[in-house]
Amino acid sequence: MPRQLDRPDTNTLDSLLGEIRACRHCAAHLPLGPRPVAVANPAARLLIIGQAPGTRVHETGIPWNDKSGDRLREWLDIDKPTFYDPEKVAIMPMGFCYPGVLASGGDAPPRAECAPLWHERLRAHLPNVALTLLAGMYAQAYYLGKARKKNPDRDRRNLA
């Protein structure tokens, strides 16, 4: 028999997700305007914390809806229906909106305001997460701090 999942008040989570989606905190700094992207459900067992949405994700509102998402799903050996099932996978980027590009080219880093504003509150509604995947250097730096190593193989061993 499957174990009973502990479930916080879903209305509260729905309210929080509504707050996140309505966030305009750093709108003046976003070249395409705000469109926060996050997926959460109290039943989720996997939490993926990535960088920030790219242009395609900004356009569609679907997280990891680009080549990097295809690569991530391949690495995880997870099909799209499972990956996009919020009762299985929660997705929370370091920056919830598309941050633009750097003058020198390449993606701008995630906005620094997002994680302190939202992460702790959102994680509190994910009591059943058994594994958190820190996808990218910004997520790793934020959550691992000085414990983060330069060698990814060594990092994986240290987290085991």
Q: What pLDDT, on the 0 to 100 scale, is given for residue 156?
A: 55
Residue 22 lies in a domain: no
The verdict on residue 26 lying in a domain is: no
- Looking at the domain assignment, is residue 128 inside a domain? yes
**Distance from the first to the final alpha carbon of the chain:** 28
Average pLDDT over residues 35-53: 96
Locate 157 and state its tokens.
């061993």
Task: Answer yes or no: is 70 within a domain.
Answer: yes
Q: Please report whether residue 154 resides in a domain.
A: yes
Q: State pLDDT tens for residues 129-138.
A: 999 999 999 9
**78 located within any domain:** yes
Residue 155 has what pLDDT?
52
Confidence (pLDDT) at 107: 86
With a cut of 70, say whether residue 88 has pLDDT above it.
Answer: yes
Residue 100 maps to which CATH number? 3.40.470.10
Report if residue 14 sits inside a domain. no
Residue 1 has pLDDT above 60, yes or no: no
Report the number of distinct structural domains present in the chain.
Answer: 1
Q: Which domain holds residue 57?
A: 36-159
What is the pTM assigned to this prediction? Answer: 0.84
Rg over alpha carbons for the chain, rounded to the nearest Å, is: 16
Residue 138 falls inside a structural domain: yes
Quote the distance between the C-alpha of residue 25 and its chain's center. Answer: 18
pLDDT in tens, 3-24: 444 544 446 899 999 999 999 9
Percent of the chain with pLDDT over 70: 86
Contacts of 56 (CB under 8 A, 6+ apart): 65, 66
